[in-house]
Structure 1
Amino acid sequence: MTPDLKGIVIIVGNYGSGKTEVAINLAVASHAEGVAGVRIADLDLVNPYFRTREARHQLHRLGIDVVLPPEKYLHADLPILSPDVAGMIKQPGPLNILDVGGDHVGANVLAAVADAFGDKPPQMLQVVNPYRPFTETVAGCMKIRREIEAAAKLDMTGIVGNANLIDETDVNVIYEGHRFVQRFSRESGLPVAFVTADVGLMTDLDPDRLACPVLPIRRQLVPPWGRSANLAAG
């Protein structure tokens, strides 16, 4: 069962949480499930390395609309917000994904476009990898939640469990991560929207042990010596 999300979905989290991978793969999975008019906007204005724009060519080939800064600024380490983002928010399609920069610093951009949301409250999902610093405890996750909400001037509406150890991930890492986000959910009152798993682990996962949808991840944001996965693979 893959996530079924509609409207404006904001993906936030701390640095290293994997939120951009989540945003990209959510767009691809939703498109594959038949959601027409999937759009994704790169609002990461603080991290020059792992951003949605790095996967733009594959996304475009799949027919997914990618909202980016002007071409001449694509690789600039500059805080440039495309005016198309406000237009996307004011006139959203069936699914509009906003990939926001890490921590509260990255979430500041949301306050700048807050008026554009109007009476269309967005979903804001906090990506959590309990194997990363600062989110290995529920208290740490709660702190990051409060900081992002204050910066964005928006309320968090759900949690995404993105437990992984990159190449060392196995199904037990996924199961333990799921148990962790369930604890975070109970203490925060936020629902678990979905969890993620590398596409290579999907057939090994027991769905009865995961009480939520699972988003398959095909890694895009790899080091220079790595190779991105093919997003169009079945």
Structure 2
Amino acid sequence: MEKSSSLRPLRLGEQTKNFVFLGEAGSGKSEIAINFALSLHQQGGKEVHLFDLDMTKPLFRSRDQGEALAAMGIRFHCEQQFMDAPTVTGGVTRLLREERCYTVLDVGGDYIGARSIGGYAPLLNDSRTAVYYVMNPFRPWSMTIDHIDRVLGETLGVSHVQLDHLKLIGNPNLGIHTTREDVLDGIRTLTELVAPYKPLDFFCVWEPLYEQVKGAVSAPLLPIRLYLTYPWNRMPEDGSY
């Protein structure tokens, strides 16, 4: 796994030490959480702890790259599951409070996964923590404002994160099959649906498309490298689709 430098322009961690990623299943939370953790590690100065708190599905979880991340210097945390039994990963409260480290929480999809962080609400709603809600307009529950409002409301209800503390991220992607037109269409869709109610902090774009997209939109863009790809869904070696 290569280190990512994609997030350096955001100058992460200057006033924030904790980063939390919420959203529906398939929104891209785990990819973004991995990119954040790697960029924080590259900036140096503090140890980086990445927690995989996803208990809602067996695929596309940051633990799939847990060993590689640990080898690169990320302190990786997860609790192995047996069947569908709920599990609790230890150390979250202590590290959210610890000023000498960065903490990144990759939370499971929608309100079911968000239940796992409800007990940390006082720490999540303080000024040291940035809580991001990730929306992918190509996923079923982010296609209309009614769907977004319902899933977001349920997620905030069980996590006890305050709406005015929440930041929104747009992540228009279809994996390695994403095109420039997909990204631009997704940005337009989310801007029209959501921006009248709450501004989006930034949009993510697959790294190979960043140069093609950045001149076509005025919104802040964040190039993201994809790490969670499986053998049946990887880019061919010749770069073709």
- TM-score normalised by length of structure 2: 0.80
Equivalence for 1:103? 110
- Alpha-carbon distance, 1:168 to partner: 2.3
Report the CA distance shift for 1:208/1:60 in structure 2 as closer, same or farther (over 3 A).
Answer: same
The answer to whether 1:170 aligns with 2:182 is: no
How far apart are residue 114 of structure 1 and its match? Answer: 3.0
Question: AA paired with 2:19?
Answer: V
In structure 2, the residue corresponding to 1:225 is in which secondary structure?
helix
- Aligned-partner Cα distance in 2 for 1:99–1:219: 14
1:22 partnered with 2:29: no
- Unpaired runs of 5+ residues, structure 2, are 1-5, 236-241
* Contact kept in structure 1, 2:167 and 2:200, CA below 8 Å: yes
Percent of aligned pairs with the same amino acid: 26
Q: How far apart are the structure 2 equivalents of 1:188 and 1:121?
A: 25
Change beyond 3 A, Cα 1:81–1:175: same
The DSSP-based 3-state class of the residue aligned with 1:167 is: coil
Do the aligned residues in 1 keep the contact of 2:17 with 2:128 (CA within 8 Å)?
no
Q: Is 1:68–1:82's contact at 8 Å kept on the other side of the alignment?
A: yes
Show the counterpart of 2:3: none
Residues 206 and 82 of structure 1: is their aligned pair in 2 closer, same or farther, counting only changes over 3 Å?
closer
Match of 1:54 among 64, 88, 97: 64
The residue identity in structure 2 corresponding to 1:83 is G
Deviations 1:93-123 (A, max 9, x none): 4532111010101000111333555855632
Distance 1:227 1:75, change over 3 A: farther
Question: Which residue of 33, 45, 67 maps to 2:55?
Answer: 45
C-alpha displacement of 1:17: 1.1
Q: How does 1:121-160 map to 2 (within 5 A)?
A: 122-156=129-163, 157-160=166-169
Following the alignment from structure 1 to structure 2, what is the Cα–Cα distance between the partners of residues 36 and 185?
Answer: 35
Q: Tell me the equivalent position of 2:197.
A: 188
Over 3 Å counting, the alpha-carbon distance change for 1:227 and 1:84 in structure 2 is farther
Equivalent position SS for 2:58:
coil
Instruction: Give the aligned CA root-mean-square deviation in angstroms.
Output: 2.6
Q: Is the partner of 1:209 in helix, strand or coil?
A: coil
Kept in 2, the 8 Å contact 1:194–1:215? The answer is no
Kindly tell me the number of residue pairs found equivalent between the two proteins. 223
| Higher deviation after alignment, 1-10 or 174-183 | 1-10
Instruction: Give the residue type in structure 2 aligned to 1:23.
Output: A
**Residue 107 of structure 1 contacts residue 151 of structure 1 at CA under 8 Å; is this kept in 2?**
yes
Paired residue type of 1:123: A
Cα distance change on mapping 1:185 and 1:25 into 2, 3 Å: same
Matched position secondary structure for 1:11: strand
Pick from 214, 219, 234: which aligns with 2:227? 219
Q: 2:209 aligns with which of 201, 211, 221?
A: 201
In the superposition, relative to structure 1, how do residues 4 and 160 fare at CA in structure 2: closer, same or farther (>3 Å)? farther
